[in-house]
């Protein structure tokens, strides 16, 4: 029987874990503690150096309070939710109060951060 399956790209999933963690304003040590592993072991997942399992994705998603699909999506621009951002105000329910200018600034900041991360990942892959 011919079965097709896809293998998750550790670099993409790791990058998505990193970006989501940064946007959620969490430290790597916090996520690692939630997973019950060391910070260095966790950051290897973010760098795509360790095999990322479905269990790891699920636990990281729980820790960051996001849908696990956000972490495996290959298009990172489609899933970012700004809920714990300092720009969202003191009360996370104030997200709707951000005016268009603030939203555009936050979007540009995120896009710049993503571009920088991609350049860093490309440089690291060349080593």
Q: How many domains, in total, are found in the chain?
A: 1
The pLDDT of residue 45 is: 94
For 120, residues 6+ apart whose C-beta sits below 8 A from its C-beta are: none
- Structural domain includes residue 5: no
Q: What is the pTM of this model?
A: 0.56
On whether residue 61 sits in a domain, the answer given is yes
**pLDDT tens, N- to C-terminus, the chain (127 residues):** 444 444 568 888 999 999 999 999 999 999 999 999 999 999 999 998 999 988 999 999 999 999 888 888 755 454 444 444 444 444 444 444 456 777 777 777 788 888 888 888 888 887 6
The tokens of 92 are what?
Answer: 């996370």
Class of residue 25 by CB neighbours under 10 A (exposed 0-12, middle 13-18, buried 19+): exposed
CATH code of the domain covering residue 93: 1.10.260.40
């Amino acid at each position: 029987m011919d079965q097709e399956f896809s293998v998750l790209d550790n670099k993409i999933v790791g990058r998505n874990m990193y970006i989501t963690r940064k946007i959620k304003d969490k430290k790597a040590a916090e996520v690692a503690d939630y997973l019950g592993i060391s910070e260095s072991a966790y950051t290897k997942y973010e760098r795509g150096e360790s095999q990322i399992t479905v269990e790891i994705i699920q636990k990281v998603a729980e820790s960051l309070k996001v849908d696990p699909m956000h972490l495996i999506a290959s298009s990172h621009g489609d899933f970012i939710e700004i809920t714990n951002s300092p720009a969202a105000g003191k009360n996370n329910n104030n997200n709707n109060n951000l005016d268009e200018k603030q939203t555009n600034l936050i979007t540009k900041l995120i896009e710049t951060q993503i571009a920088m991360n991609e350049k860093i990942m490309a440089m690291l892959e060349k080593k």
